[in-house]
């Protein structure tokens, strides 16, 4: 399984929304920011983004069947 990470710019292209809108929406979601290399710009785990789009909860709170569905979605898209 590939762990895909998205930056704010990637999310902007994916959802076709302004970066400020995406920041506002992500602040309301329970999605953890990850910093690759300890600093720099934040990245978001693709599993969390897609799980929130499908089930309105982060990946680690999904049930086994839901996790499998999110993984299939990402594997199919890549």
Q: Which domain holds residue 47?
A: 5-77
Contact 8, 19 (CB under 8 A): yes
Confirm if 53 and 63 have CB atoms less than 8 A apart.
Answer: no
User: How many of the other CB atoms lie within 10 Å of CB of 66?
Assistant: 15
If one counts the domains in the chain, the total is 1
- pLDDT at residue 71 tops 70: yes
Angular region, 13: left φ>0, alpha ψ -120 to 50, beta rest: alpha
Residue 42 pLDDT more than 80? yes
pTM for the predicted model, two decimal places: 0.82
């Amino acid at each position: 399984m590939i762990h895909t990470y998205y930056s704010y710019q990637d999310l902007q292209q994916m959802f076709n929304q302004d970066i400020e809108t995406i920041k506002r929406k992500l602040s309301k979601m329970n999605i953890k920011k990850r910093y690759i290399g300890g600093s720099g710009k934040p990245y978001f785990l693709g599993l969390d983004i897609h799980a929130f789009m499908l089930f309105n909860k982060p990946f680690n709170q999904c049930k086994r069947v839901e996790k499998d569905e999110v993984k299939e979605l990402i594997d199919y898209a890549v």
